[in-house]
Structure 1
């Protein structure tokens, strides 16, 4: 495998983020959700205006993992008011780490997580937090391996389906 490069995304990467975002979310969750719910979520979450707004938010950061000219994963982190829930000034939220299924078990997710950890340390945050679907065992194992512990739950709505996300955090030294 060629080496993976992690680059901060900018407005020029909007279409790449839309494409990889839709692909990786669909690969991860299509088998467990209705086609209609998936279509609705992907259109809402990855439409041009939403991604453009998120890219322009000074408290949100996107990074894309590249294998040569091929995007293979991405990361989105939020601080301050950009956080989806806690909005604690001392924390950094990992909103998304997604990797193409073709690159699972190739350490791409670890590289993206390491980028999030570096951002949290540079911003002098006390902890990282995230929400992960309770049935996404691959992700749960990944975060536990990286020192995250569960601290709460919340409901994630996909279409009309209410799914339970486990809230996890990692306190930083």
Structure 2
């Protein structure tokens, strides 16, 4: 499978809504209640929510897509952090990073992560934060392999379910410069 990673633009809101819903369901359908999954997707993965993100110059949205044809495989979103921990002015949050199951093992996930790290550094961030479902062992292993470490927890609601998720951080100031 050939694919590419690119920065999303305002015209990609519908595509991002589609891949956001597909990847969320693909990831959590075996583990969470169907009504809670549906409520979460309807609230958080609407095209208009992506349109707001895409219009904000402080937010970076990246999409991975098949070539040729450009069907979406995954995406990532960098935003201002929203965590119940002490935040620094140079923090940025990797709010979302997902890929469809058929993209696992193809390099799409590492490419989305590499791009998120590059974009965070380009925006002047010194620390990249993310939250992950405590029971998502695959994702947690992926983040730890990329150098992220747990620094706290947060409550995360999916429908009516409230989960206590770890918050991870990656120190970008300790990473080698991509220009070196």
User: Shorter-chain-normalised TM-score: which range?
Assistant: over 0.9
Deviations 1:77-107 (A, max 9, x none): 11xxx32236632112101110011111111
SS at match of 2:64: strand
The number of residue pairs the alignment matches comes to 169
Partner residue, 2:145: 145
1:55 alignment partner, SS class: helix
1:49, CA displacement in angstroms?
A: 2.5
Residue in structure 2 matched with residue 84 of structure 1 by the alignment:
82
- Matching residue of 2:18: 19
Pairwise mapping of residues 9-158 of structure 1 onto structure 2 (< 5 A)?
9-68=8-67, 69-78=70-79, 82-85=80-83, 88-158=88-158
Report the structure, 1 or 2, having the larger strand content: 1
Cα distance in 2 between the residues matched to 1:84 and 1:49: 20
CA distance in 2 between counterparts of 1:57 and 1:7 reads 17
Pairwise CA RMSD: 1.3
CA distance in 2, matches of 1:146, 1:44: 30
2:75–2:112 Cα contact (<8 Å) kept: yes
CA distance in structure 1 between the aligned counterparts of 2:19 and 2:160, rounded to whole angstroms: 25
- Bigger drift between 143-152 and 123-132 goes to 123-132
- Normalised by the size of structure 1, how large is the TM-score? 0.92
Gaps of 5+ in 2: 175-180
Q: Could you tell me whether the CA contact under 8 Å between 2:60 and 2:119 is conserved in 1?
A: no
Q: CA deviation at 1:123?
A: 2.2
Q: Under a length normalisation based on structure 2, what TM-score does the superposition of the two structures give?
A: 0.89
d(CA) in 1 for partners of 2:11 and 2:88? Answer: 30
